[in-house]
Amino acid sequence: MTYCFSPILLSKISERFRFSRKKGVFLGVLGISVSQIIFYFSLEPIPFLISRVLEGFMAGLVWTNLQSTISDNAESNHSKYMAIYNFSWNLGTLLGFLAGTIMLFFLGDLLIIFYFSPFLLFINIFVILFFFEESAKIKNLNCENETEERKKVGIINQSKKDIKTLSRYYIPSTIPVLFVIAFSIVRVCVLFTYPIKSEILGFKAYTAYLLSFLCLITQTFSITFASYLPLKHFKKVSTICVLISSVIVFFLGLSTNYVMFVILILLLGFFNGFLYSLGLKLFLYLNIQRETSKYSSICESAIGFTFLVAPIFAAFLTAAYNDIDLCFYAFSVILFLILILNFVYFRKMRNSY
C-alpha cells in the first residue's frame, strides 16, 4: 500500500531538498534496515505490519534513485547500465530464493530468514557509503591515457547518435505504464494465484517455490537481453510478448498437470522479462527527453499499485465464484485489453516523428 505512492512522494521530497542519488539510496536502505530490526524484537502481527509499512515506504527512495542514475547522464551508455541493473536485481532475487532454501533445508527454522535479512541490508549500507558513485558527464571525466580517451569519445559519439534518434519520437507515457502493469499482473499470477491453485491441486508446497525460481531464471535472461533492444523494435516485440503472455495465463487456468505448469511458467518468465525491460527503457528515455527523473517514480508506483490491486481483485473473484481458475481467465482478458491499448498508443508514437 505504501509503495503505491511513496516513490512519487519521496521523489518530490528529494528534489525539494536536493538529495543526491547516493544520499537517496543510503537513506532508503537505512530506513528499510531500521524497519527490519523490528524482527529481532518481535514478529507479532502489529509490530510486523508496522515494519512492513515502513519498509514499503522507504523502498520508494531506493529503486527510483537507482533507476535515475542511469538516465541522469544523457551521454552515458544507457543500454549497458540498464542491462547491469536488470541483471543484478533479478540475480539478487534468485540468490535470495536459493539462500532461503538452503538455510531452511539445513536449519529447518523459518525465523532465521527474518534474523538474517537485516544483516544483508547492513552490507548494502557499507557498499553505498564506499562504492556508490554519483552520475557524471563522461566528457568531463579525466582520462588516464589516450586510449581510454578515444574509447570514451566513441561512447559519447554513439550516445549522441542514440539521443538524436530518440529526439525524433514523442513517447506517450501511457505505453511504459501499460508494460509495467502487464509485467506486474503476470508476476501476481506466478507468485500469488498459482500457489493457491497448486495447494488446491494437492501439489507439495516446495513445488510452487521451485516454479517461481524457474520463472526468474528465464526472466533474468530476457530482461537483460531486452535492455539492448533498439526503440524501432519495441512495438513488434511488445505485441508478441503481451499476446503470448495473455494466452499462457489463460492456459494456466485450464491446466492441472505439473509438467505443463513448468513449461508454461518458464515461457511466461521469458516473455515477461521483455515487458519490464521495454517499459523501464521507455521510462528512462522519457526522463532524458524531458530532463526529469519523475518517470522512474511513476514506473515504481505503477508496479506497487498493480501488486496491491491485482491480488485483492483475485481474492474477491475467487471468493465470489469459488473458482481460482477465473482469476487466470480474468487476468488473461486484462492482458488482451492492454494489447489493444498498446496498438492505439504506439500509433501515436509512430506518427509523431
Which residue is associated with the grid cell 491453485?
Answer: 197
Question: Average pLDDT of each block of 10 consecutive residues along the chain (353 residues)?
Answer: 90 81 90 87 87 91 88 75 91 82 73 79 87 61 40 40 60 90 94 90 82 90 92 90 96 93 94 94 87 87 93 90 92 96 81 45
Q: Using CA atoms, how far apart are residues 281 and 325, in angstroms rounded to an integer?
A: 33
Which pLDDT score, from 0 to 100, does residue 42 have?
80
DSSP 14-69: HHHTT--HHHHHHHHHHHHHHHHHHHHH--SHHHHHHHHHHHHHHHHHHHHHHHHH
| DSSP-derived 3-state class of residue 254 | helix
DSSP state of 277: H
The CATH architecture one would assign to domain 2-133+150-343 is Up-down Bundle (1.20)
DSSP 56-115: HHHHHHHHHHHHHHHHHSTTS-HHHHHHHHHHHHHHHHHHHHHHHHHHHHHH--THHHHH
Residue 243 CB neighbour total at 10 angstroms: 15
**Predicted TM-score of the model (pTM):** 0.84
Which pLDDT score, from 0 to 100, does residue 12 have?
83
Task: Calculate the dihedral angle through the C-alpha atoms of 306, 352, 291, 339, rounding to the nearest 10 degrees.
Answer: 10
Task: Look at the chain and count its residues.
Answer: 353
Which pLDDT score, from 0 to 100, does residue 163 have?
55
Which pLDDT score, from 0 to 100, does residue 302 have?
93
Which pLDDT score, from 0 to 100, does residue 107 have?
74
Q: Where exactly are the structural domains of the chain?
A: 2-133+150-343
Residue pair 182/335 in contact by the 8 Å Cβ criterion: yes
